[in-house]
Amino acid sequence: MWQVVGQNRVVSLLQHSLERGTLAHAYLLIGPPHVGKMTLALNLAQALNCEAAEPPCGECASCQKITSARHADVQIIGLTTEQNSTEAKPQAEIGIDQIRQIQHSSSLPPFEGRYKVFIIDGAEFLSNEAANCLLKTLEEPVGSVIFILLTTNDKLLPATVVSRCQRLELLPLAATEVEATLNSRWGIELQKAKLLAKLSRGCLGWALSAALGDSLLQQRAERLKRLVDVTRANYEERFAYAAQLVDQFSQSRGLVQEVLDLWLNWWRDLLLVKVGCSDTITNVDFEAILSDWARDFSLAQIKAFINSIQAAGEQLRQNANPRLVLEVLMLSMPKRKEIISVKHD
């Protein structure tokens, strides 16, 4: 059984190709973080190597090895943190050496399964050299080798690479679907499932991580508190916060993108409350505070700042100077004078 939830169109397409033996040599799975790209990629790797009559069974030795990352023919590469240096520094790019290594491995026959599967997580981080090297491999497909590239944004990949892959888009799930899955499959109580389903914006993986440990919700509460504080701070304090974000950015781009996404959701909620659509907001547990804010900012201010956050996110993705981008963002944030406290209740 396919483990991925709510991607019926993509799953039935893959199932159909498996049954007909018309699989592509390379797939590009596109979708927001935590929507289920890796789950689907691993499911496909299982389906290709499963020993049961109806693959992927999830239970045979092969399927289990893939689940626990012990299958010799299924390899995942992506950005990793280099552990050998004294200061653990995350990689900025997927380098050519990583691609050369899988290129070599793909030239050998499968070791224990029927197919060799190479999953490239965060394909938008391939260096130019690495992408060119990968392209050569994709141009000379081998029968029992399948590449699965995962990305949040296919526009950041060279068009030549994209054109060699079958594009499969994974869409966010409906909140009701996330809620029902959390409740029925994972036993999360209904009220918590409802809140997490809203906050996850249709990305089940996020909702699940938040449900199984408190750290994501705690982190969200802390980030929202910073957001509130910084909105009433002076420029000096705002720049100090920008500097902190720049530091984080050099550690992990993803972290800063998450903060910006949170801000975007907050200000979009504010817009929704302002125009009287409170029932569609994401941050349902902060509705009272959002209503307060909606009185303090004009529609024009809210819209302008939403644009600024979007622009900042786009510029960071395009490798603009992070300090400059974040300082401009801090300058464009409208100021809120009134002091209120954020409570999570």
> Rounded CA gap, 329 and 167, in Å?
34
Smallest separation (angstroms) from Zn ion to the CB of 66:
8
Nearer to Zn ion, 111 or 235 (CB): 111
Nearer to Zn ion, 63 or 312 (CB): 63
Nearer to Zn ion, 57 or 171 (CB): 57
Smallest separation (angstroms) from Zn ion to the CB of 229:
51
Smallest separation (angstroms) from Zn ion to the CB of 46:
6
Which x/- pattern over 17-56 shows residues binding Zn ion (rule: CB under 5 A)?
---------------------------------x-x----
Nearer to Zn ion, 148 or 273 (CB): 148
Nearer to Zn ion, 1 or 159 (CB): 1
Q: Could you say which of 18, 60, 79, 243 contacts Zn ion (CB under 5 A)?
A: 60
Smallest separation (angstroms) from Zn ion to the CB of 50:
3
Residues 159-178 that bind Zn ion (CB under 5 A): none
DSSP state of 285: G
Pair 88, 81: CB distance under 8 Å? yes
Pair 316, 249: CB distance under 8 Å? yes
Nearer to Zn ion, 63 or 102 (CB): 63
Smallest separation (angstroms) from Zn ion to the CB of 49:
8
Pair 275, 255: CB distance under 8 Å? no
Smallest separation (angstroms) from Zn ion to the CB of 114:
12
Give me the helices (H) in the chain, please. 8-20, 37-49, 61-67, 96-106, 128-139, 159-163, 175-186, 190-199, 204-212, 215-231, 235-251, 253-274, 287-296, 299-317, 322-332
Which x/- pattern over 136-155 shows residues binding Zn ion (rule: CB under 5 A)?
--------------------
Vertex 229: Cα angle to 212 and 206 (nearest 5): 20
Rounded to the nearest 10 degrees, the angle between the axes of helix 8-20 and helix 37-49 is 20
DSSP state of 69: T
Q: Which stretch binds Zn ion (CB under 5 A): 28-36, 57-65, 169-177, 254-262?
A: 57-65
Q: Which two tokens stand for residue 228?
A: 């509130």
Classify 301 as helix, strand or coil. helix
Under rule CB under 5 A, how many of the chain's residues touch Zn ion?
Answer: 5
Smallest separation (angstroms) from Zn ion to the CB of 41:
16
Pair 284, 323: CB distance under 8 Å? no
Q: Which stretch binds Zn ion (CB under 5 A): 30-38, 61-69, 101-109, 143-151?
A: 61-69
Smallest separation (angstroms) from Zn ion to the CB of 61:
8
Q: Which stretch binds Zn ion (CB under 5 A): 63-71, 133-141, 223-231, 251-259?
A: 63-71
DSSP state of 94: B
> Rounded CA gap, 40 and 44, in Å?
6
Nearer to Zn ion, 39 or 283 (CB): 39
Q: Which two tokens stand for residue 59?
A: 């239970």
Residue 178 contacts by C-beta under 8 Å, 6 or more apart in sequence? 193, 196, 197, 200, 202, 203, 204, 207
Asked whether position 57 contacts Zn ion by CB under 5 A, the answer is yes
Q: Which residues bind Zn ion (CB under 5 A)?
A: 50, 52, 57, 60, 63
